[in-house]
Amino acid sequence: MGTFRTLTVSGFLTVVLAAVDLPIAFTTHLNSRMTGRTDHALTSSVRDAANARLLKPVQPGSVTMRKFPYPYRAMLAIASDADGVTFRKFILIHRYLNTFERTSMGKGLGLDIADSFFFFVGTDRPGAIDTHNTPWQDQMSYFYRLSTNDLRDARAIVHFSRVGWIDSLHGLGDFSMIDQNITLFERRYAETALRALRENRLRYTVWINHGNRSNVGNFGNPESTYQQGDQKQSPYYIADLIVRSGVQYIWTRRDSEFGLKSMLYPITLRDGVKRWGFYRYTDDGYDPWGDLLWNWNPMKLAKQLSPDHLRMIETRHLYSIIAQHLGGNDMEIPIYGANLLALINLAHAYREGRILVARTSRLLQYNEVQQWLHYTVRYTGVHADIDIDQIRDPVLGWRHPTLDDVRGITFYSSSPRQTRLLLNGHSVPRSRLQYNHADYTGSPSVSIPWWPESTLDGSLQPGFASDAMDTSQNEPGNVKPFRRVPNRRGIQIKPPIWTWREDQL
């Protein structure tokens, strides 16, 4: 990130690079690690032909922006909420989703999937969230319950936010009470959370409202009668602090669309501040009796990620963010059987360059930037110069983009090698660009590369341990018997349960 940001100050170098503009032997810059595809590498036998084709003058009018980063046709995020998650569940799930390690669910998928987290837990909900009889009050959270001093999973949350397994705020925590007319929420929790963000130099752009009517700090839905987080006169007013912390995208309501052209819609908070609202696929509408058909329970994951759904976003070139509670189930890790197959199918769609699976914050940032990017194209006879100067965002305001802001942005061009990119007036060096073969439209393109893939096992890196890790919870006495689930052929499959230990932690 740091080196990209220095681009504008190294203007001298970039101008020199641009001015030299020598014909270069063709080497593909497509990061094969990023797409998992190696078939783009050109062999020397076709190099000359490729050079001749790619160095021909840019056809005037041929430069247009592609909707998604090359080579993808759609983009999808799995936004899993913090409800019912323990540190142990979190590790089990994300080692499978995010790494290539061997796990109890099989070889990891290496996908970019991040969750939300809680700062505080102020709920009186009875019952347990796992097979260790962990109470709801001990969900994974930054602070110990409602303490503003005692930490619980702070170190792990900071660590995994940096690793990229956490990227969203789930409100400021779980304040759901059995009696929804009472609340333990106070504004001072927002002040404490903000201090923690500053101390750890963390910034979350995504805010996901949590829970029942006791969560009076929620905000963003003007029709809500209980939300007071954006009402200046309320003692629960916190939107000023949350917006100041860097929140740009707010999830406020249910939605039954799996795929959409854009995930964003403008909202004006009741204190007058504008932010983007975003959609998440949470349900399939209502049944004939008027009950909502929620599908964000982990046992509905396969239904959410059905082959038909994936095909639909691919052919119509749509975004999708599915809401989930992957750690919400009290007994079993939900990744087995049909859910496991659905995730493997999604990983294939990603590896084959069809659907870009990205954490929610990255998908939303890309969506916003791609939608509001302002650029001009100048055809100079041989070259085309694409000058990207602003993100003309009507909600968050106009701003000059950094290279990190425009990651993944792709332009079709009849001659990508003769197409130059300028960012805020500075030439982007060729080494920072990625030149792409023709995609399904028949047009080649040039891209600013997407974020590098990160599949390292974050749980092996130092500093991950939970502050509240209590190894005595691993006593085998807490293990409940497997519930056997028959598959279509009637074969009994043992679902994995939360007590499975993979590593000596």
* Positions in the binding site for Zn ion (CB under 5 A): 81, 83, 210
Name which of 210 and 383 has its Cβ closer to Zn ion: 210
Name which of 210 and 270 has its Cβ closer to Zn ion: 210
Q: What is the three-class DSSP state of 94? A: helix
**Both structure tokens of 236:** 């629960």
Name which of 83 and 368 has its Cβ closer to Zn ion: 83
254, with CB counted inside 10 A (0-12, 13-18, 19+), is middle
Query: In whole angstroms, how close is the CB of 297 to Zn ion at the nearest point?
Result: 12
Query: In whole angstroms, how close is the CB of 81 to Zn ion at the nearest point?
Result: 4
**Both structure tokens of 210:** 């949590």
Name which of 208 and 342 has its Cβ closer to Zn ion: 208
Name which of 275 and 325 has its Cβ closer to Zn ion: 325
**Both structure tokens of 286:** 């209502």
In order, the DSSP letters of 391-449 are: EEETTTEEEPPPTTTTTT-EEE-S-GGGEEEEETTEEPPGGG-EEE---TTS--EEEPP
Query: In whole angstroms, how close is the CB of 217 to Zn ion at the nearest point?
Result: 13
Name which of 89 and 210 has its Cβ closer to Zn ion: 210
Q: What is the CA radius of gyration of the chain?
A: 24
209, with CB counted inside 10 A (0-12, 13-18, 19+), is buried
Query: In whole angstroms, how close is the CB of 117 to Zn ion at the nearest point?
Result: 11
**Pair 303, 275: CB distance under 8 Å:** no
**Both structure tokens of 239:** 């939107």
Query: In whole angstroms, how close is the CB of 182 to Zn ion at the nearest point?
Result: 18
The closest of 23, 116, 121, 125 to 430, measured between CA atoms, is 23
Name which of 220 and 449 has its Cβ closer to Zn ion: 220
In the bound state, the residue with its beta carbon closest to Zn ion is 210
Query: In whole angstroms, how close is the CB of 215 to Zn ion at the nearest point?
Result: 9
The closest of 376, 498, 505, 504 to 105, measured between CA atoms, is 498
Query: In whole angstroms, how close is the CB of 125 to Zn ion at the nearest point?
Result: 12
The closest of 500, 417, 473 to 103, measured between CA atoms, is 500
**Both structure tokens of 33:** 């690690």
Query: In whole angstroms, how close is the CB of 240 to Zn ion at the nearest point?
Result: 23
**Pair 498, 89: CB distance under 8 Å:** yes
Name which of 213 and 417 has its Cβ closer to Zn ion: 213
Name which of 86 and 434 has its Cβ closer to Zn ion: 86
Query: In whole angstroms, how close is the CB of 325 to Zn ion at the nearest point?
Result: 7
Name which of 172 and 197 has its Cβ closer to Zn ion: 172
Name which of 83 and 332 has its Cβ closer to Zn ion: 83
333, with CB counted inside 10 A (0-12, 13-18, 19+), is buried
**Pair 449, 72: CB distance under 8 Å:** no
Query: In whole angstroms, how close is the CB of 131 to Zn ion at the nearest point?
Result: 21
Residue spans of alpha helices (H) in 317-395:
337-351, 360-372
Query: In whole angstroms, how close is the CB of 176 to Zn ion at the nearest point?
Result: 8
Spatial CB neighbours of 347, under 8 Å, sequence gap ≥ 6: 109, 110, 111, 357
